[in-house]
């Protein structure tokens, strides 16, 4: 059996109880060493075989999983954040399906949740934005043209950009070319939930300057939108004049 497990964004106590239990039981752990906090490996049994997938190819990961499986062992494939966001898990699952190997998935706290917590902010505010666009700049991994930053920027929704801090000058230009006012509030969150976390607020026109001034070159999210500002409408859900299935309206 293979368990795909989300490790969370960094702080070791942000893994789920289920994920921690899988780690404690595992015979083999293959972890994404570029971002997973190695402190989590302290949960593993002493005789657990541990491999860092940052030094491996997909084929090598599959070899490890298959040989563990042939010996009836349990493997944890530990991914950073939540495995469903830029996790490269689908290609592993498809190969496991082909090989007839069973697997399941244990979700994790994604970095975008960690970043909102670092800023003490809410992505969806009434009257401001009710949508979150999770995307990235095209880099060595291309992004379909219809998903360009410019086209998303036109919506003025909350934007969360993964894997893009290395291209932040270009990103800043694209956000403004797509329609964000240069004064739109923005933030860069470096290593959310790690001890050396940095949560930097700025405006869209200052994104590149802010990253440079704070020496942020990787492991960061870029957040853009009015949700970082001061104005919003209060919720209907907790409005005394609004009735819900749990509570009647009061005059």
Is position 163 an interface residue for ligand SAH (rule: CB under 6 A)? Answer: yes
- CB-nearer residue toward ligand SAH: 9 or 185: 9
CB atoms within 10 A of CB 30: 24
Contact pattern from residue 56 through residue 85 relative to ligand SAH, giving x for each residue in contact according to CB under 6 A and a dash for the rest? -----------------------xxxx--x
Q: Which of 12, 19, 87, 185 binds ligand SAH (CB under 6 A)?
A: 87
Separation of first and last alpha carbons in the chain: 57
Is position 31 an interface residue for ligand SAH (rule: CB under 6 A)? Answer: no
205-232 burial, b for 16+ CB within 10 Å, e for fewer?
bbbbebbeeeebeebbbbbbbbbbeeee
Any idea what DSSP says for residue 149? H
3-class SS shares of the chain: helix, strand, coil, % to 5: 35, 20, 45
Is position 28 an interface residue for ligand SAH (rule: CB under 6 A)? Answer: no
3-state secondary structure 177-218: HCCCCCCCEEEEEECCCCCCCEEEEEEHHHHHHHHHHCCCCC
Q: Closest separation between CB of residue 83 and ligand SAH, Å?
A: 6
Q: Closest separation between CB of residue 127 and ligand SAH, Å?
A: 28
- CB-nearer residue toward ligand SAH: 66 or 214: 214
Q: Between residue 178 and residue 217, which ones bind ligand SAH under the rule CB under 6 A? A: 189, 191-194
Question: What values do phi and psi take at 103, rounded to 5?
Answer: -150, 160
Determine the Cα angle at 54 with ends 50 and 58, to 5°: 90
Instruction: Determine the Cα–Cα distance for residues 86 and 90; give it in Å rounded to an integer.
Output: 10
- CB-nearer residue toward ligand SAH: 114 or 226: 114
Is position 168 an interface residue for ligand SAH (rule: CB under 6 A)? Answer: no
Number of residues that bind ligand SAH (CB under 6 A): 24
Size (the chain), residues: 251
Contact pattern from residue 97 through residue 136 relative to ligand SAH, giving x for each residue in contact according to CB under 6 A and a dash for the rest? -------------xx--xx---------------------
Enumerate binding residues for ligand SAH (CB under 6 A).
9-10, 35, 79-82, 85-87, 110-111, 114-115, 162-163, 189, 191-194, 219-221
């Amino acid at each position: 059996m293979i368990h795909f497990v989300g490790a969370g964004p960094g702080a070791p106590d942000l893994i789920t109880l289920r994920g921690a239990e899988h780690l404690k039981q595992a015979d083999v752990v293959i972890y994404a060493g570029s971002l997973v906090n190695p402190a989590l490996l302290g949960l593993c049994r002493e005789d657990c075989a541990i491999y860092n997938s940052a030094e491996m190819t997909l084929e090598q990961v599959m070899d490890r999983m298959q040989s563990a499986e042939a010996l009836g062992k349990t493997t944890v494939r530990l991914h950073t954040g939540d495995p469903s966001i830029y996790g490269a898990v689908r290609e592993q699952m498809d190969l496991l399906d082909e090989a007839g190997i069973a697997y399941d998935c244990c979700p994790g706290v994604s970095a975008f949740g960690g970043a909102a917590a670092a800023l003490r902010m809410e992505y969806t505010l009434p009257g401001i934005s009710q949508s979150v666009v999770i995307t990235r700049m095209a880099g060595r991994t291309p992004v379909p043209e219809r998903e360009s930053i410019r086209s998303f920027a036109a919506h003025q929704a909350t934007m969360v950009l993964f894997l893009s801090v290395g291209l932040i000058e270009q990103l800043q230009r694209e956000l403004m070319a797509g329609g964000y006012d240069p004064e739109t509030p923005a933030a860069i969150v470096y290593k959310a939930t790690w001890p050396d976390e940095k949560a930097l607020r700025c405006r869209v026109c200052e994104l590149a300057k802010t990253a440079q001034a704070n020496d942020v070159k990787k492991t960061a999210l870029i957040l853009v939108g009015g949700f970082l500002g001061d104005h919003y409408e209060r919720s209907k859900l907790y409005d005394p004049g609004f009735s819900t299935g749990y509570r009647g309206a009061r005059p």
